Amino acid sequence: MTGIRKSRVKVPGSTANMGPGFDTLGMALSLYAWIEMAEAEETLFHLHGEEMKSVAQDKSNLIYKVAQMVFDEAGVSVPELEISMYSEIPLTRGLGSSASAIIGGMVAANALIGSPLDEAKIFDMATALEKHPDNVGASLFGGIIAAAWDGSHADVIRIEPPEDLDTLVVIPEFELATSKARQALPAELTMADAVYNVSRSSLLTGALACGRLDLIGAAMRDRLHQPYRAPLVPGMEAVLAGATQHGALGVALSGAGPTLIALVDRKEPRRNELEAFMKDTMAAHGIQAASRWLSPCRSGAVLLPASPEGMQNQSFLDMIKGEVHS
Ligand SMILES: Nc1ncnc2c1ncn2[C@@H]1O[C@H](COP(=O)(O)OP(=O)(O)O)[C@@H](O)[C@H]1O
Ligand SMILES: N[C@@H](CCOP(=O)(O)O)C(=O)O
């Protein structure tokens, strides 16, 4: 085998759908996971951080599995791996933790064997696994992505996030698996609802591409998934109905939820008012939630030097110490 023996990757979490762009639109957020992968004699995991407590530490681990998919695709054998990971992306909250793990694991594995797979191949493999391209596209390419998946290939366009765009996420304390939130969706829609969503998703994509923040409120509405998921997230309907009166440009369920995300103009003076409105509304419905201001992340998964110059023995924990901001 050729290539380096150890790789390190930093990968962002993401918000998907952004209202009307179900399984299509995604935006990378300034919330990250770090992965180190090395060839080993025996498979070992070092998982750090609160979010990693429930994650498998054997060969059923998602990162290990996606690494083996990359090796199979490239025709190489690396059966034993030492995997270290730290993540600040909450699990099963609608902030793309599974997509970040898939992309981070694939990019790290590809780098370990000299990067034989290109980004398009990694995107297709990741989408086939996640079943929708929105979160994996955002974690791989960064910024805002619009993507279409035909069952074997995903076409994607990347949009640079508008300069003044900021986001507020309100993260309920309860978990909601994406698989469960997808089961709540209907098998069919009316033509009127399909047109409602196609028009708004197109308008939102154009508005984000052109920096037309004034159109975001009208464009972020949805009739395809949010109405059906609302019963799973107490307080969601009231937050979606009221957030624009407290300074949000637009508001949506983040991915499959339960996190809610408001898009906000960086110059908006009512930031505290909006944060209090969203958290208090959830609390009034019996839901405790944490809030965080996050920026769109302009870069996707990036390789970090595995042996930074002058720091050849830098440990994974030393590396993330200089990186983690939460
Ligand atoms: N770092 C990780 N390592 C292994 N598995 C992970 C990791 N991050 C997420 N997962 C898997 O993804 C699941 C969450 O995915 P999902 O229900 O799609 O929610 P979301 O992607 O919105 O956080 C977790 O329960 C876990 O099985
Ligand atoms: N388009 C998907 C997005 C799921 O995102 P996640 O972050 O909740 O996994 C959906 O809406 O089901």
| Digit-coded pLDDT (tens) for 53-88 | 889 999 999 999 999 999 999 999 999 999 999 999
Q: Which residues approach ligand 1 with their CB closer than 6 A? A: 55, 61-63, 85, 87, 91-99, 101, 177-178, 255
pLDDT (tens digit per residue) in 94-131: 999 999 999 999 999 999 999 999 999 999 999 999 99
For residue 181, the ligand closest to its alpha carbon is 2
Q: Rounded to the nearest 10 degrees, how much is the dihedral formed by the CA atoms of 214, 215, 217, 223?
A: 180
Q: Report, as an integer, the average pLDDT of 147-158.
A: 97
Q: Can you point out the beta strands (E) in the chain?
A: 6-16, 25-39, 44-48, 81-87, 144-149, 154-159, 165-172, 250-253, 260-265, 289-294, 302-304
Class of domain 165-294: alpha beta
- Delimit the CATH 3.30.70.890 region(s) of the chain: 165-294
Interface predicted TM-score (ipTM): 0.98
Q: Please state, in angstroms and rounded to a whole number, the distance separating the CA atoms of residues 94 and 13.
A: 10
pLDDT (tens digit per residue) in 83-93: 999 999 999 99
SS3 content of the chain, % helix, strand, coil (to 5): 40, 25, 40
Query: CA distances (Å), 276 to each of 47, 187, 291, in order?
Result: 34, 36, 9
- The pLDDT value recorded for residue 313 is 67
The pLDDT of residue 319 is above 90: no
Question: Which three-class secondary structure state does DSSP give residue 95?
Answer: coil
* Minimum CA distance residue for ligand 1 atom 5: 62
Q: Please state, in angstroms and rounded to a whole number, the distance separating the CA atoms of residues 67 and 15.
A: 24
Q: Which residue has 């994650």 as its token pair?
A: 55
Q: What is the pTM of this model?
A: 0.95
Mutate to test the pocket of ligand 2, among 132, 185, 253, 261 (most ligand atoms within 8 A of CB): 132
Q: What is the CATH number of domain 6-160+298-321?
A: 3.30.230.10
First CA to last CA distance, the chain? 38
Instruction: Put residue 235 in one of left, alpha, beta given phi > 0 → left and psi -120 to 50 → alpha.
Output: left
Both structure tokens of 131: 């079943």
Q: Please state, in angstroms and rounded to a whole number, the distance separating the CA atoms of residues 209 and 178.
A: 28
Q: Is omega for the bond preceding 258 within 30 degrees of 0, making it cis? A: yes
Q: Please state, in angstroms and rounded to a whole number, the distance separating the CA atoms of residues 91 and 110.
A: 24
- Delimit the CATH 3.30.230.10 region(s) of the chain: 6-160+298-321
Q: Please state, in angstroms and rounded to a whole number, the distance separating the CA atoms of residues 248 and 168.
A: 9
pLDDT band of residue 323 (cuts 50, 70, 90) is confident
Q: Which residue has 């949009």 as its token pair?
A: 159
